[in-house]
Amino acid sequence: MKASMYTTKYILDEFGITRQTLYNWIKNNEISQPETDWRGWRQWSNKNVGEIKRLIDNKKESADKAKQANEDERELYINNRRYLGSKHKLLPFIESTINEECKKYNSFADIFAGTGVVGGHFNTPKRKIIVNDLLYSNYLAYLTWFSDMEYSKDKINKYIEQLNNIKPYKENYVSENFGNSYFSYENALKIGAVREEIKGLQDAGLINARENAILVTSLIYAMDKVANTCGHYDAYRRSMDMLQPLRLIVPHIYDEANKNNEIYNTDTNILVRAIRPDVTYIDPPYNSRQYSDSYHLLENIATWNKPKVEGVAKKMLDRSHIKSSYCTSRAPQAFKDLVDNINSKYIVVSYNNMAQKGNGRSNAKISDEEILEILKLRGRVKVFDTDFKYFTAGKTNLTDHKERIFLCKCR
Ligand SMILES: C[S@@+](CC[C@H](N)C(=O)[O-])C[C@H]1O[C@@H](n2cnc3c(N)ncnc32)[C@H](O)[C@@H]1O
């Protein structure tokens, strides 16, 4: 046998597969036919072995995705979406820190709420939450999960089924602009048709503002599951792998907890001047990556003004109203203005330790010293940290990355 050639038995043992499976893969052209020796016995090269390994990895990944999709399919929960900087996995750390340090608190403000998972975690029948974000797509999600405005569950079930059964037949804004790039052409066609239908229901007065928010949110979560991206809309993948059909799911809403919550869609530096929660939780963007750029497409669908889009990333031209000063060199001043104007017993800040580490775009905009200095003007500050695996688009891999909480007990 030539060097680095393997027998079929070796391959079967190595990968734990049956002879029948291996031959089926050859028959179905999933792997190449190996060479044979003078006896006609198959001889597997390193290239063949690599192909088999890749195929097994891909099959495992697809099976995991299908399993996750099955689980997600039953009911929709607030954390069933990808979002940069989501604190879903850090909730136990955030909760234990806050509960240990903050005496009785009846109201909790999540003022850079993103997905809303942090606010949602502190939302109980006895505690009021205040949630806010610059992005309208997030605001609609908060109306869905946290509002106490009336809505009809029967209507939502009926309309979601109807929307899932739409069979679009003509080009629309989404298929023209985002088909065969961010979404498969069929899914883009469906997204456009579903969004247009929701608009029609709203214009005809058949759904109220809450029901509209629930339907659009269900669509936005469904889009995330079929988007040909790695979780945000700064770019799409070159090859189109996301062919599974778009499917809207009914959100599981914890109605009992939703009493008198406040929901905003404004610049948080303006908002804090008008609210008085016991705890204010601050989780601003850390770096120069604007959320308006990463989630432009969701904003586009949420607002449904059908603006002209430009460039390879197909972003709407005017995003100035959703740009954050926390992603610019003005971040320290914005943070100081914010903290100075908070009316709370406790200020809790999440910020990671990336300052002066990683690549340029990932560099933190506010240094630890600045955060501490600014918070100390308001009261006694403690810092808590936890190890948290961090990576940026596979390029930087910093294992010593920590998520921190700065907790200030205000005077
Ligand atoms: C790090 S993310 C928050 C993630 C969130 N804690 C979660 O778990 O999903 C920061 C959020 O702040 C929002 N944002 C940025 N600047 C803002 C501002 N000036 N006012 C309100 N929201 C802002 C962004 O749109 C983004 O959703």
Which residue is listed with tokens 């990333």? 313
- Per domain, the residue ranges of the chain are 8-74, 88-410
Q: Which two tokens stand for residue 193?
A: 């048709």
Q: Which of 213, 80, 77, 229 is nearest to 138 (CA)?
A: 213
* pLDDT (0 to 100) of residue 393: 40
Q: Exposed, middle or buried by CB within 10 Å (0-12, 13-18, 19+), for 88?
A: middle
Pocket of ligand 1 (CB under 6 A): 83, 85-87, 112-115, 117-118, 132-135, 138, 267-268, 283-285, 291, 324, 326
* pLDDT (0 to 100) of residue 363: 84
User: What is the mean pLDDT of each successive set of 10 residues along the chain, which is 411 residues long?
Assistant: 81 91 92 93 93 90 74 83 95 95 95 98 96 98 98 98 96 96 96 98 98 98 96 91 93 96 98 98 94 96 96 90 94 98 98 62 87 97 74 45 88 95
- What's the gap in Å between 29 CA and the centre of ligand 1? 47
- What's the gap in Å between 365 CA and the centre of ligand 1? 14
* pLDDT (0 to 100) of residue 59: 86
* pLDDT (0 to 100) of residue 107: 98
- What's the gap in Å between 206 CA and the centre of ligand 1? 32
* 102 close to 345: Cβ distance less than 8 angstroms: yes
* pLDDT (0 to 100) of residue 241: 82
Burial readout 181-219 (b: 16 or more C-beta within 10 A, e: otherwise): bbbbebbbbbbbbbbbbbeebbeeeebeebbbbbbbbbb
Q: Does domain 88-410 have CATH number 2.60.120?
A: no
Bridge partners of residue 393, in order along the sequence: none
Distance CA 281, CA 347 (A): 6
- What's the gap in Å between 268 CA and the centre of ligand 1? 9
* pLDDT (0 to 100) of residue 377: 98
From 134, 267, 271, give the residue whose CB has the most ligand 1 atoms within 8 Å, as the site to mutate: 134
Distance CA 380, CA 400 (A): 27
- The one-letter amino acid code at 82 reads R
- What's the gap in Å between 47 CA and the centre of ligand 1? 47
* pLDDT (0 to 100) of residue 317: 86
Residue nearest to atom 7 of ligand 1 (CA): 86
* pLDDT (0 to 100) of residue 392: 43
